[in-house]
Amino acid sequence: MTAAISHLDLLEAESIHIFREAAAQFRKPVLLYSIGKDSTVLLHLARKAFWPGRLPFPVFHVDTTWKFREMIAFRDKTVRDFDLDLIVETNQDGIAKGVNPFDHSPSVYTEVMKTLPLKAGLDKYGFDAAFGGARRDEEASRAKERVFSFRAEGHRWDPRRQRPEMWRLLNGRLGAGESVRVFPLSNWTERDVWRYILREKLDVVPLYMAAKRPTVVRNGQLLMLDDDRMKVQPGEVVTERMIRFRTLGCYPLTAAVESDATDLESVVAETLGARTSERQGRLIDHDQAGAMEKKKQEGYF
Amino acid sequence: MTAQPAKKAAHTTAVVPAAASPVSAVVAAVAPELTGMIRVLTCGSVDDGKSTLIGRLLWDATDLYDDQRETLQKGKKVDGGNPDFSLLMDGLVAEREQGITIDIAWRYFDTETRRFVVIDSPGHEQYTRNMASGASHADVAIMLIDARHGIKRQTRRHAAILDLVGVKRVVLAVNKMDLANWSEERFRQIEADFRSLSWRFGFWEAIAIPVSAVSGDNVAEPSKQMPWYTGPTLLAHLESLPSRVTDSAGPFRFPVQTVLRDIRNDFRALAGTVSSGSVRVGETLVDALSKRSAKVLRIATMDGDLTEAGTGQAVAIQLDTDLDVARGAVMSKADNTPAIARSLETKLVWLNETPYDPRGAYLLRTATDLIPVSNLEIRALLDLETLASNPSSVCGVNDIALAHIALGRGAAIDTFADAPETGSFMLVDAVTGASIAGGVVTEVSAAVAKAGADTFILTRAMLERGLCSDLRNLSSGDGEAEFRRRANEVALILRGAGVAVEIESPQDYSI
């Protein structure tokens, strides 16, 4: 051996292997890019898998129009830096009907502004495989997810119809109407993602680092006012706080944590010592019991 | 190795979300990567307390998050006022309601030096397939039994499945010792039974440990109740085992996944993962199927070239001369090449609800090849308790069968004993795409079966003239892959119509 193989080397090699298998087996794959740290790692691994060539598939972003502004700026820079083919999909019908994260419940909002345009986009372009950054350590129902996760017609996920996976073999032969979600980060943990970002010196959205930002406390969660569409409610006080985000999504649905970690090293140090699992920062998951499993059955990631 | 910050003492501290920490000191402590990884399968039935055991491991190994701890503390309590640790493992809503674990669940935790991947598999006999698929990913298996009941037929089944899919290290966790009066006599008897059982298999190591998952005895902490036991705790034992894939001992195998190109720099390389052995720049590699060889010019990665690549590494190999090698080829060294298999003797576990159909259209997925099966013949079913093979021509879900597989064309395949990754396969239903069975190759035959008078030979010339006349650069790899795909599909259609068919293999026409 040239060097001792660390657990990150093993994870990296496994992910590259998965990318290459999927690209070879499926006719028209696409990479679902959500701009966050997991997507950043996903994209980096994809570039490694096909280096020195360009990515042999486009990247796809569902824009709810409620993402943090810094996320969109980061997305566009990434696309330029790595010469990517970007596809952006937005549910215009949802916007026309005024569906927004304030007046609609998280489950309705997610369905209309995320799940529907995702399905519509995949169908429109005829993608038969979509890479996603989901990890098995994220949530209980994901602990049983496959690397090649099959979706029946209508993108429905049926836990009972998933294909057994054995050894390193990946069977990507599709049945009629089937498509597949591919999860190269299946065996990574949140800590690995951060450790890897640090090791590979990857750029991430600055929102992951602490800075003074305008915030309010709502329902016990710390929210950032990213633009004037978010109205301050009676009794709420807008306060500049040193905050950062452990996950990134739509800003009205993404809670911040107070922090002094202004650079990547400090963020990783904080995260590796963190005592709360990351999904607590995502408001949609607390909507109902078994929320994630339900969302997956409906086609959400 | 440096310690991680989140240790036992943190259990009782209040939730402090992302509190400011002495950063520079912590970074040095947390940034290093773990030096190893081990995948641990746990098998046993619900009644044996399997989910509780893993939950206990997670709980005591301390990298659980506080909200997860809190959920558990708030939840219903089980025997002795302990939290219900099994809640950490049982994922799907349906399963939680039924109180059983159907599917394999993956869990991850870190100790100071290593990543533990816990693969939790169901114990019931009707889920043999889930257990087999889970076990195929494992480096070590924990077989859980109830001390009061001892070794049962299920334990024997489990050992047989572990052996079949290639697990080399097993631990018998003799659980519920608290309910067996912490009896040494009881444990020693079970241990002896286990020895005589495991002796029959190809395990490298098999040990028994007396534990109580509910109270945590001998899980992460030595038991005060069983001073007579002087061996390691379960966790200590698992930490002492060698890490996953650091051994590059076997014969060199490099299944080609795809061909990478960079036209600007005249770069063309074979992308893949070293599945066995290792390779150095300058060595001569041979494509078993075409018998053509070339020297390794570069072992390329985005992080720079390597001089050597070992088992488990994903790289791109550039050769000094372009071989017409496509996905599905297995590169090896001249002194030890895989066989060009035309037929296989196999052991397989039937995974699908649809039983074996002698007229079914099947494909064989090997490391990176997909080969039409010209004949699949079930010869016997394995009785997992007696290990006797009983002649049979039928096979259904959860059966373990001995099967003969004739391939529609030659393919580079090893025996599982020689090179596991190029000696294992999935049997795929050509129509639905479902994974029908997973298996290991016990014998490879390169002899081309005498084509019967009624066997239709799908020749290269025939395909090139018509169906594949639109394919350009047939020699560049891409065209070849598509050519093969079409040939496979034609073979499957013909076979479905009852025609015995053979695809002309590259070695039949090349050079």
Q: Which domains does chain B have, with CATH numbers?
A: 8-13+22-240 (3.40.50.300), 254-333 (2.40.30.10), 339-509 (2.40.30.10)
Residue A181: CB atoms within 10 A of its CB come to 23
Distance (Å, whole) CA B25 – CA B29: 7
Q: Is B462 left (phi over 0), alpha (psi -120 to 50) or beta?
A: alpha
Residue B140 has pLDDT above 80, yes or no: yes
Q: What is the pLDDT of residues B298-342, one digit of tens each?
A: 999 999 999 999 999 999 999 999 888 889 999 999 999 999 999
Query: Per mean pLDDT, which of A96-105, A274-283, B51-60 is the most reliable?
Result: A96-105
What's the pLDDT band for B91 if we cut at 50, 70, 90? very low
Residue B457: what pLDDT?
79
Residue A224: per-residue pLDDT? 94
Task: Find the residue in A nearest to B477 (Cα).
Answer: A24
Q: Does B71 touch chain A (CB under 8 A)?
A: no
Tens of pLDDT, residues A24-45: 999 999 999 999 999 999 999 9
CB-CB contact of A222 with A272 (8 Å): no
Q: Is A27 on the interface with B (CB under 8 A)?
A: no
Enumerate the β-bridge partners of residue B209. B173
Q: Where do the CATH 3.40.50.620 domains begin and end in chain A?
A: 7-193+290-297
Contacts of B86 (CB under 8 A, 6+ apart): B49, B51, B52, B55
pLDDT (tens digit, 9 = 90+) per residue, A169-210?
999 999 888 999 999 999 998 888 988 999 999 999 999 999
The pair phi, psi for residue B329, each rounded to 5°, is -70, 150
* Distance in Å, alpha carbon of B227 to nearest chain A alpha carbon: 35
Give CA separation, A82 vs A52, A54, A129, A256, B314, in Å: 12, 8, 22, 29, 21
pTM of the model: 0.85
Residue A288 has pLDDT above 90, yes or no: no
Structure tokens at B215: 């109270």
Closest residue by Cα to residue B85 from B114, B103, B107, B102: B107
The distance of Cα B395 from the centroid of its chain, to the nearest Å, equals: 22
Q: Contact, B412 vs B340, CB < 8 A?
A: yes
In the numeric block, which tokens belong to residue B5?
């910050």
Top residue of A6, A7, A82, A157 to mutate, by most chain B CBs within 10 Å, is: A7
- Distance in Å, alpha carbon of A90 to nearest chain B alpha carbon: 31
pLDDT more than 70, % of chain B? 78
Q: Token pair of B407, please?
A: 């391939």
DSSP B449: P
Alpha helices in B171-233 (DSSP H): 184-198
Q: What is the pLDDT of residue A171?
A: 95
> What is the rounded CA–CA span in Å between residue A142 and residue A301?
10
Q: Which two tokens stand for residue B481?
A: 């892959």
**Does residue B12 register a pLDDT over 60?**
no
- B272 CB within 8 Å of a chain A CB: yes
Comparing A158 with A118, which gets the higher pLDDT?
A118
* Region for residue B397 given its phi and psi (left: phi exceeds 0; alpha: psi -120 to 50; beta: otherwise): beta
Q: What is the DSSP string of B267-331?
A: EEEEEEE--BSEEETT-EEEETTT--EEEEEEEE-TT--BSEEETT-EEEEEESS-----TT-EE
Q: What is the pLDDT of residue B70?
A: 62
CB within 8 Å of chain A, chain B residues 100-129: 103-108, 110, 114-115, 117, 129
Q: Quick one: pLDDT at residue B58?
A: 75
ipTM over 0.90: no
**What is the predicted pLDDT for the residue at B442?**
96
Residue B67: the pLDDT is 54
SS3 A39: helix
Instruction: Please work out, in degrees rounded to the nearest 5, the angle formed at the alpha carbon of residue B250 by the alpha carbons of B247 and B256.
Output: 100
pLDDT at B178 over 80: yes
Which pLDDT score, from 0 to 100, does residue B458 have? 79
**pLDDT of B6 strictly over 60:** no
Q: pLDDT for B54-79, tens place per residue?
A: 778 877 765 555 555 566 566 666 55
- Cα distance between the two ends of chain B: 55
Token pair, residue A129, equals 């495989």
Assign a CATH topology to domain A7-193+290-297.
Answer: Rossmann fold (3.40.50)
Q: In the A/B pair of chains, how many CB contacts fall below 8 A?
A: 242
Q: What is the pLDDT of residue A282?
A: 45
Chain B residues in contact with A82 by the CB 8 A cut-off are none
Q: What angle do CA B9, B15, B16 make, to 5 degrees?
A: 100
DSSP state of A238: -
- Specify the pLDDT at position B187: 96
- Residue A130: strand pairing partners: A30, A181
Who has greater pLDDT, B476 or B403?
B403
Would you state the pLDDT for residue B360?
Answer: 87
A265, A198 in Cβ contact below 8 A? yes
> B80 with A120: CB under 8 angstroms?
no
What mean pLDDT comes out for the span B265-288?
93
Separation between Cα atoms, residue B126 and residue A105, nearest integer Å: 41
Residue B264 structure tokens: 């600007």
Is residue B23 very low, low, confident or very high in pLDDT (cuts 50, 70, 90)? Answer: very low
Q: How many Å apart are CA B500 and CA B502, to the nearest integer?
A: 7
Separation CA A253–CA B35 (nearest Å): 38
pLDDT above 50 for B246: yes
Whose CA is closest to B118, among A111, A143, A102? Answer: A143
pLDDT tens digits for range B351-399: 999 999 988 889 999 999 999 998 899 999 998 878 889 999 999 998 9
My answer on whether omega of the bond before B372 falls inside 30° of 0, hence cis, is no
Q: Are the Cβ atoms of A159 and B129 closer than 8 angstroms? A: no
Name the phi and psi angles at B40, rounded to 5. -115, 120
pLDDT for the residue B8: 35
The pLDDT of residue B44 is: 76
Mean of the per-residue pLDDT values for chain B? 82
Query: What H or E segment, with its residue span, contains residue B464?
Result: helix B460-465
β-sheet bridge partners, residue A150: A180
Residues in chain A: 301
Query: Rounded to an integer, what distance in angstroms lies between the CA atom of residue B67 and that of residue A168?
Result: 34
Percent above pLDDT 70 for chain A: 89
Mean pLDDT of A43-50: 97
Phi-psi bin for B49: left (phi > 0), alpha (psi -120 to 50), beta?
left
Residue-level pLDDT at B510 = 38
Euclidean distance between CA atoms A55 and A49, whole angstroms = 9
In eight-state DSSP terms, residue B202 is -
Sign of CA dihedral A120, A124, A130, A132: negative
Assess B278–A contact: CB distance below 8 Å, yes or no. yes
Do A16 and B273 count as a contact with CB atoms less than 8 A apart? yes
Which pLDDT value is given to residue B24? Answer: 40
Q: Are strands A59-62 and A86-89 parallel, antiparallel or unpaired?
A: parallel
Q: Check residue B192 and give its pLDDT.
A: 95
Q: How high does pLDDT run on average in chain A?
A: 87
Between B166 and A138, where is the model more confident? B166
A190-200 and A264-272 helices, crossing angle to 10°: 160
